[in-house]
Amino acid sequence: MRRDGRVADSLLALLSRDWLGVPVAVLVVGVGGALVGKGAAWAVALGGIVVAVGVLLGAGAVRHLVLVAREARVNPPPGRLVDVGGHRMHVLAEGEAGGGPTVVWMPGGHAPGEDFRELHTMLAARTRSVLVDRFGAGWSDVGPFPRTTAAEAEELLTALEGAGERPPFVFVGHSFGGLLVANAARRRPDLVAGLVLLDPTPLEVIAFAPRNRQLAGMRRGFLLTAVRQLFGAHRGPGCRTGQGCAAASVFAELSPSGLARVGWETVVYDEDLGDLPLVLVIPRDLIGGEAVLAGARDAVEAERLARFYLRSRVRYLAASSASRLVHTPEGTGHDFPHEAAEFVVGVVGELVRELRTVSP
């Protein structure tokens, strides 16, 4: 299994290179030319088709490189590029701490820090706020493979240090980003003043729930998007193929077999965070997550699934003896950081004020 994983990681690392489309197109044209050279009618016809495909791939690959270069030119990184293990990680820090902790945001999925730009901007008017692009996201380099939550937690801490950001930190993470910042806090509790977990990914739903086709589909989608981008078959600004590859790599953890390999390094379990102040912010129900119930065989199983998902949401409360639960506004679902930005900033700002009051 690990050998297969190394092969997959090597392929993802190769696919993440934006220039890969050009040699692939040249190879396809070469194969087509070899067929034409055979002289047989069928070979000439097939070779002509292959050459035409190679030319189209080459044109798309060149288009992709032009778009990526143009995007880099017109949209330079707004923050600093910090060296982390020989690769550059983007860190944007704004605002003044004013004697309190610095807030570090981590969006869900494998999204760039820019996904939380609105939240960051709102909070930076009150205290110091930081956005970090994980490797393979935003303005950061693609970084090494495989991408894992454990590695990204360590990289996050290294990037903050390299950017000159001073602890203590309040880490705020949504969904998969919540799992990541909880990991970072477990590893270096001395740097962390508090945690705000925005409906973080509970690993129980990966290990014990029925197979989640949505997660598997997302990983395939990342890979297909990377391939389309490699050959210029996409609209909009130029996006690096490494973004989809990095997301596909880290999402390999989100399966029972993937979790079995990395569980000990990834899980945040009961009392792992001691008495670290922890605010768990979750919706009251499964609004926006009804798809998880769609595969139930009957009403009894649907009820069991709903209960399982709702209970697993509160598991992070056991990670700290100083945890508390906050429910999101009525009618909001898993994507509430975008649906209720002022509410989220208010929750984070309240914790910052509390920590400011008790700090020596």
Q: How far apart are CA 30 and CA 42, in angstroms?
A: 17
pLDDT score recorded for residue 2:
57
* In-domain check, residue 196: yes
Q: Tell whether 96 and 197 lie within a shared domain.
A: yes
Q: Tell whether 160 and 302 lie within a shared domain.
A: yes
Its domain, for residue 166, covers 80-210+254-358
Q: How far apart are CA 184 and CA 176, in angstroms?
A: 13
pLDDT score recorded for residue 7:
87
- CB proximity list for 187: less than 8 A, separation 6 or greater: 153, 154, 157
* In-domain check, residue 277: yes
pLDDT in tens, 165-218: 999 999 999 999 999 999 999 999 999 999 999 999 998 888 888 777 777 788
This prediction has a pTM of: 0.91
pLDDT in tens, 259-299: 888 888 998 999 999 999 999 999 998 886 666 676 677 88
* In-domain check, residue 249: no
Q: How far apart are CA 65 and CA 239, in angstroms?
A: 9
pLDDT score recorded for residue 115:
96
* In-domain check, residue 129: yes
DSSP 292-348: GGTT-SSHHHHHHHHHHHHHHTTGGGGG-TTEEEEEPPTT--TTHHHH-HHHHHHHH
Q: Tell whether 164 and 312 lie within a shared domain.
A: yes
Q: What is the CATH number of the domain that holds 191?
A: 3.40.50.1820
The per-residue pLDDT string of the chain (360 residues; one tens digit each, 9 = 90 and over) reads 456 678 888 999 999 999 999 999 999 999 999 999 998 999 999 999 999 999 999 999 999 999 999 999 999 999 999 999 999 999 999 999 888 899 999 999 999 999 999 999 999 999 999 999 999 999 999 999 999 999 999 999 999 999 999 999 999 999 999 999 999 999 999 999 999 999 999 988 888 887 777 777 888 899 999 999 999 987 766 688 999 999 999 988 888 888 888 888 998 999 999 999 999 999 998 886 666 676 677 888 888 888 888 899 999 999 999 999 999 999 999 999 999 999 999 999 999 999 987 654
* In-domain check, residue 44: yes
Q: Could you say which DSSP state residue 168 is in?
A: P
* In-domain check, residue 197: yes
Q: How far apart are CA 20 and CA 13, in angstroms?
A: 11
pLDDT score recorded for residue 302:
81
pLDDT score recorded for residue 3:
62
pLDDT score recorded for residue 83:
97
Q: How far apart are CA 10 and CA 140, in angstroms?
A: 20
pLDDT score recorded for residue 283:
94
* In-domain check, residue 222: yes
Structural domains in the chain (count)? 2
Q: Could you say which of 224, 244, 264 is where a domain stops?
A: 244
